[in-house]
Structure 1
Amino acid sequence: MSETEVVTEPRPLLLSDGRPAAAAWSLDPGMLHLNHGSFGAVPLIAQQRQHELRDEMERAPVVWFPGLPARIAATRGEIARFLHVDAQDLALVPNASAGASAVYAALTAHPGGDIVVTDHGYGAVTMGAERLARGWGRRVRTARVPLTADADQAYRAVMSEVDNRVALVVLDQITSATARELPVEQVGAELARRNITLLVDGAHSPGILASPLEGLVCDAWVGNLHKWGCAPRGTAALVARGPLREHLHPLIDSWSATEAFPHRFDQQGTVDATGPLAAPVALDFIDRTWGWETGRRYMDELADYGARVIGSAFAGSAGPTESVDVGMPVPGMRLVRLPEGLGRTRIAADALRDRATAELGVEAAFTSFDGIGYLRLSAHVYNTPADYDRFADFCVPALHEWARQARMRS
């Protein structure tokens, strides 16, 4: 960042009583929390609702579990309204990976062809695709999408791997490691024309995108509510609108197994469903306190601020900002390139995450793509500009030193 460039500092969001937004969460104030996108953070009001529901469950389990399917169905309706989809198209699953696994299980019994994924795909979901391909006796093709690719370039990169031998495409709506969108609407329209199944991994989409399924044609979509939606963990949506839905079953067979989709997902033995039941409280809290549109705008401005401040710190006061050119940037998420020697692989990036937590007291996401390490910023309403200033002042020098040591060892 040049001396003349001014970085606009977003005004932190406050609660209605004037307290900082973070007061509505139970996050440790002694740590920096800059990685909302991995595991989320549940506001106190939703935690309290989940505690109340668990107390109710434990007071009378024989009353609780028989009545659970009706309560789950009602909750599905509330989550469907948040996502702007029909409740009859939406099933609740523990997380996006579980939803993807349900899709793979539905496809296992039918002979298939090759599967196309991208080099931005989430590891666990890609592993499931590889397992399915092995069962089919086919292979997984990886479409290489440059980080800088715009929508048309990314579309061409994905479709270059699609021919008449392909039966399934698995595509991230928002990529985890690289914090970018992929052109799921454009790809989905063409795959529908060719009658090729599309699974969209929208793990990061609920909350960060206002209406993630609008204009999207796909056979199945999965998205986590515990990330930007701030719901208790174990809350995710599986949306299916086409013929595939009739073959989708929960990973646990229970007494609703013979019912139609999505009702067969409403009962899964003695699974603790208090997280999903408390999810609407978290969604409503954000909406009532600030409004989702205001919250998204703040998160985006804050992520931009953080990337500029931290990027400048990495580059040095006399150097240019270490900005990363992402072809389809995501609201509320940014990448900052790490110094040479840090986070070159997923394993190295995970080790860096753990070391930063232990030695620097920061919860941050370190990722890797194409042999380059990145800091992935994912802001939420409880974050403030001071969080990123603190990282720049305190953590960046340590990371520079760690990079220097890594280069000396290599």
Structure 2
Amino acid sequence: MASTLITAPNALLTPDGQPATSDWSLTADKVHLNHGSYGAVPRVAQEHQFLLKAKMDANPCTWFMGQAAALAGTRAEIAAFLRVDANDMALVPNASAGVSVVYNSLTFSRGADIVTTDHAYGAVLEGARRVARECSGEVRVAVVPLDADAALSCELVMAQVTERTALIVIDQITSATARSLPVLEIAQAARELGIPVLVDGAHAPGAEAAPVPDFEGFWVGNLHKFACAPRGTAAVVARGPLRKHLHPLIDSWGFPHEFPESFDHVGTQDITSWMAAKTSFDTIETRYGWDEVRRYSRTLADYGAAVIQDAFSAATGEDAAVDVGMPVGQLRLIRLPKGLATTHEDSHAVRAWISDMLNFETAITTFGGAGYLRLSTHAYNTAREFEAFAERAVPELLRLARLR
């Protein structure tokens, strides 16, 4: 099957001519079309982390007594990949932990509000609600249409700001809806009002060459998604006067220090995922080139979305394409048949059914009562995988929808 609109890109190959998937350990009995959720770690980085774990377990006393010094060097390596100053960045287990750091560190006066959007990640939204309950405030949610451009998106977010607004939380790349939001424009508007901004950049590292926007405030991002670091690797970047208030989630021996040094003392936490992250970054750069991976991923996402949209549309007579106002290079959104994934719980059930019955690993999301297939691409994906989904999975999803 081939789309009449977009040419399929040639699959990426290793330097010795093997399929790129050979650099990963993904099981062959599933087609992996959901890199954006949990990532995939190159074999060589897995091996590096295994060696680090062996060293840790061979002499725990020496390892943990020297861990803070080792972490400072690791932090500098990851900061270089993110293109930020190492003195502005600390390491955390995941982006949600970074968000919790900000929520738990800032002082919210009684009646303080938090502004976010209806695209916010569920865990981040629940954290904001917790903070609002504790200070007898509320979470004000800007309703941003899927097709809203940067100007309208910024306008809708800032329209929720009042004299009680204590923090704006905004996604750089949304999880459920695979779109960008204008974080720089919002940060600038917020700064003029003296309101701090927290940017949830969970999907940005690896997806963008310079993933951390240049603004004064807070940014969090996962390194285990598009950057392919071992899972449990994420960063929080803080710039401006409020950074001095940030403290780690765990009270440990970093208490004499301020951000970010205070975050380098994590007790007996296993930090081998952080220490092996640079191996992932370097492996992809030397074997493919990050710019080439991003170019290929964008082209493949365009092709894969077109093929699957064509299949749905041809079968239903309804356009499955989604008009996303600020699209993301490696992510695409496709409308599912009516009746599928209309709730958060149902989206998980549909995803599990596709995995168990059809052997495709996908992301199924819901937004505004409608279900969507979210595609994400990386170096190891191929055009044939998306063609296979159109041929095998689309007819079965249509049958499933008719049964509901």
**TM more than 0.5:** yes
Deviation per CA, 1:271-307: give whole Å up to 9, x if none: 1100010001001111111111111010011111110
The equivalent residue for 1:311 is: 309
Deviation per CA, 1:187-225: give whole Å up to 9, x if none: 0001111110110000000010111224x3241100000
The equivalent residue for 2:121 is: 122
The equivalent residue for 1:66 is: 65
- Matched AA of 1:373: G
Cα 1:294–1:112 shift into 2, 3 Å = farther
- Matched AA of 2:295: R
Deviation per CA, 1:85-125: give whole Å up to 9, x if none: 10000000000000000000012465562110100000000
How far apart are the structure 1 equivalents of 2:25 and 2:377?
16
How far apart are the structure 2 equivalents of 1:10 and 1:147?
28
How far apart are the structure 2 equivalents of 1:109 and 1:270?
31
The equivalent residue for 1:209 is: 208
Is 1:105 paired with 2:104?
yes
Is 1:28 paired with 2:27?
yes
- Matched AA of 1:353: R
How far apart are the structure 2 equivalents of 1:6 and 1:139?
47
Deviation per CA, 1:140-159: give whole Å up to 9, x if none: 10000000000001011101
Cα 1:320–1:14 shift into 2, 3 Å = farther
How far apart are the structure 1 equivalents of 2:44 and 2:366?
35
How far apart are the structure 2 equivalents of 1:261 and 1:335?
38
Moved more, 129-138 or 318-327: 318-327
Structure 1: stretches of 5+ with no match in the other structure = none
Q: Quote the offset at 1:322 in angstroms.
A: 2.0
Match of 1:360 among 343, 358, 361: 358
Are the equivalent residues in 2 in contact too, given 1:108–1:136 (CA < 8 A)?
A: no
The equivalent residue for 1:400 is: 398
How far apart are the structure 2 equivalents of 1:112 and 1:268?
34
How far apart are the structure 2 equivalents of 1:162 and 1:38?
31
Is 1:256 paired with 2:254?
yes
The residue correspondences of 1:225-264 to structure 2 (distance < 5 A) are: 225-264=223-262
Moved more, 108-117 or 370-379: 108-117
- Matched AA of 2:59: A
How far apart are the structure 2 equivalents of 1:30 and 1:114?
48
The residue correspondences of 1:52-63 to structure 2 (distance < 5 A) are: 52-63=51-62
Is 1:187 paired with 2:176?
no
Cα 1:281–1:162 shift into 2, 3 Å = same
Are the equivalent residues in 1 in contact too, given 2:116–2:141 (CA < 8 A)?
A: yes
The residue correspondences of 1:275-354 to structure 2 (distance < 5 A) are: 275-316=273-314, 319=317, 322-354=320-352
Are the equivalent residues in 2 in contact too, given 1:108–1:135 (CA < 8 A)?
A: no
Is 1:7 paired with 2:6?
yes
Cα 1:318–1:375 shift into 2, 3 Å = closer
Are the equivalent residues in 2 in contact too, given 1:323–1:336 (CA < 8 A)?
A: yes
How far apart are the structure 1 equivalents of 2:5 and 2:217?
46
How far apart are the structure 1 equivalents of 2:108 and 2:253?
22
Q: Quote the offset at 1:320 in angstroms.
A: 6.8
- Matched AA of 2:277: A
Identity of aligned pairs, percent? 52
How far apart are the structure 2 equivalents of 1:71 and 1:302?
39
Structure 2: stretches of 5+ with no match in the other structure = none
How far apart are the structure 1 equivalents of 2:316 and 2:106?
56
How far apart are the structure 2 equivalents of 1:296 and 1:320?
31
Q: CA RMSD in A?
A: 1.5
TM-score normalized by the length of structure 2? 0.97
How far apart are the structure 2 equivalents of 1:265 and 1:109?
22
Q: Quote the offset at 1:133 in angstroms.
A: 0.7
Cα 1:318–1:405 shift into 2, 3 Å = closer
The residue correspondences of 1:158-197 to structure 2 (distance < 5 A) are: 158-197=157-196
Length, aligned pairs only: 404
How far apart are the structure 1 equivalents of 2:109 and 2:296?
46
Are the equivalent residues in 1 in contact too, given 2:110–2:137 (CA < 8 A)?
A: no
TM-score normalized by the length of structure 1? 0.96
